[in-house]
Amino acid sequence: MDETTQSAGKVCPRKVVLGKVVLMTQDHVVFFDTTLRDGEQSPGCSMTTQEKLTLAHALEDLGVDVIEAGFAMASEGDFAAIATITQAIRKPKIASLARAKQEDIEMAARSIQFADRPRLHVFLASSDLHLEYKLKISRQEALDRTAESVRLARSLVDDVEFSPEDATRSDRDFLVEMVRVAIEAGATTINMPDTVGYTTPEEYGQMFREVRERIPAVDAQNIILSAHCHDDLGLAVANSLAAIQAGARQVECAINGIGERAGNAALEEIAAALYVRRDHFGVNTSINLEKLYPTSEVLGQIITFRPSPNKAIVGANAFAHESGIHQHGMLANPLCYEIMTPSLVGVAHTHLVLGKHSGRAALRHRLEQLGFTLTREELQQTYYRFVALADRKKNIYDQDLVKILPETIRENRREPVAELD
């Protein structure tokens, strides 16, 4: 009999054999957080070293495996922030990004020299578009630079990740060749980014399957394949999950989905999807799910914007219900309209919002919480007044509810279980 236990938001598969519990290992997906690098590269998201450090501590508590702390060559500030983070953060690996250039790689290596577990992340474009127009180099030159730069990186740091930039718009044979060269030169993680958010889940999954099939060294040498998706078509999370299903065992993502243009894949959405649908994905992560919302809050306080209210997992409306039918169902059994409890991801509680779509059940529930018990008739009368008010007013506060109650009920208020908001 197979069972799945849940502890602190982590999936632990176990097998019960003749009354004994035998722990089985389940595939672990490495969470590589790039909020401090790709995330910071977007408008309104730049952070001081102190702010980066605050977020890095939150990411450590969240349980990410790798923190990409910055792009050392970009500025002195970036270098300093990476170096500071390496000295304060111990559990996650700290990655530093470098172009496939000697000076970048040496600078990146210096920025992580005091890290307990440093990672050097080297990237070079693989699409003809980038090679011809941006870098103005031939395919052969790109292969040579891949080999040289990964070899140099490996001579400085044991853990080297290589990313063929714009992988999803690259000639497939050339992409495979570049990945092969990077592995032969010593890369231990191969990240295949959808740099411009162009791919689809089927296509992206197929790319991972093909690379695994065509390069036996991937599985033979335990090379970790990694997904890195941008959200230009709103597919970043779906594409990342498709890659995981096709064998990717690292996913690169950012808190609140911040990142270049439309952003990176949202960390909280991938982590929640892998947990809530663990029956489907069957993989393990080290993310402490109850830290998802608090971490999103830390980021929201640092940068200039919050996630949109309808953003999955961390948006203000992610656990809010206004319509009468939904509120009635929620009061009867939260499973009717919620696939996870708010507390699973660190949100304090479900929010039944009283508005013009609400019904009697939610109105009674809120009034009960505030200490007012109404008979059927009193509720009916109060409900008519409530609907009339809600037609005129967008937000109904507790004070508004109290005002529309008959005098006698107001006077007989019991001990409330909730404070007036």
Tell me whether residue 74 is exposed, middle or buried, using C-beta atoms within 10 angstroms of its C-beta: 0 to 12, 13 to 18, 19 or more. Answer: middle
Instruction: Name which of 33 and 346 has its Cβ closer to ligand KIV.
Output: 33
**Nearby residues of 375 by Cβ (< 8 Å), 6 or more positions away:** none
Min separation Cβ 220 and ligand KIV, Å: 25
Between residues 159 and 352, which has the closer beta carbon with respect to ligand KIV? 159
33 near ligand KIV (CB under 6 A): no
297 contact partners, CB below 8 Å, separation of at least 6:
none
Select the residue interacting with Zn ion from 33, 38, 51, 104 (CB under 5 A): 38
Q: Which of the ranges 17-25, 38-46, 147-155, 288-296 carries the binding residues for Zn ion, by CB under 5 A?
A: 38-46
Stretch 229-248: interaction string toward ligand KIV, x if CB under 6 A: -x------------------
Binders in 254-293 for ligand KIV, by CB under 6 A: none
Residues 143-182 that bind ligand KIV (CB under 6 A): 163, 165
| Contact indicator for 96, 72 with CB cutoff of 8 Å | yes
Taking the C-alpha atoms of residue 9 and residue 26, their distance in angstroms, rounded to an integer, is 15
Decide: residue 257, CB within 10 A, 0-12 exposed, 13-18 middle, 19+ buried.
buried
What whole-number distance in Å separates Cα of residue 139 and Cα of residue 128?
A: 8
Polymer length of the chain: 421
Least Cβ distance, residue 33 to ligand KIV (angstroms): 13
Instruction: Work out how close the CB of 287 gets to Zn ion at its nearest, in angstroms, rounded to a whole number.
Output: 20
Shortest Cβ distance from residue 76 to ligand KIV (Å)? 20
Contact call for residue 193 and ligand KIV (CB under 6 A)? yes
d(CA 303, CA 308): 14
Tell me how far, at minimum, the Cβ of 250 lies from Zn ion, in Å: 14
Stretch near Zn ion under the rule CB under 5 A, chosen from 35-43, 59-67, 142-150, 328-336: 35-43
230 CB neighbour count, 10 Å cutoff: 25
Distance CA 248, CA 223 (A): 10
Residues numbered 94-123 forming contacts with ligand KIV, rule: CB under 6 A = 123
Of the ranges 112-120, 187-195, 218-226, 374-382, which one interacts with ligand KIV (CB under 6 A)? 187-195
Among 195, 226, 239, 285, interactor with ligand KIV by CB under 6 A:
195
Minimal distance, residue 165 CB to ligand KIV, in Å: 4
CA distance 7 to 12: 8
CB atoms within 10 A of CB 208: 22
Per CB under 6 A, which of residues 200..229 are in contact with ligand KIV? Answer: 228
Q: Which two structure tokens, joined as six digits, stand for 33?
A: 């957080």
The residue type found at 381 is Q
Pick left, alpha or beta for residue 91 (phi over 0 → left; psi -120 to 50 → alpha; otherwise beta): alpha
AA identity, residue 315:
G
Using the contact rule CB under 6 A, the part of the chain among 88-96, 190-198, 359-367, 394-402 near ligand KIV is 190-198
Q: Which among ligand KIV, Zn ion, none contacts residue 162 (Cβ within 5 to 8 A by kind)?
A: none
Pairing of strands 118-125, 2-7: unpaired
Q: Closest separation between CB of residue 260 and ligand KIV, Å?
A: 7
Residue 244 beta carbon to Zn ion: minimum distance, rounded to whole angstroms: 18
User: What is the nearest approach in angstroms of Zn ion to the Cβ of residue 195?
Assistant: 6
The tokens for 234 are 């709103």
60 sits near Zn ion (criterion: CB under 5 A)? no
Binding to ligand KIV in span 339-368, by CB under 6 A: none
- The H or E element containing residue 377 is helix 376-392
In the structure encoding, which two tokens stand for residue 191, read together?
């990240």
Question: Which parts of this chain interact with Zn ion (CB under 5 A)?
Answer: 38
Binding residues for ligand KIV, per CB under 6 A? 38, 123, 163, 165, 191, 193, 195, 228, 230
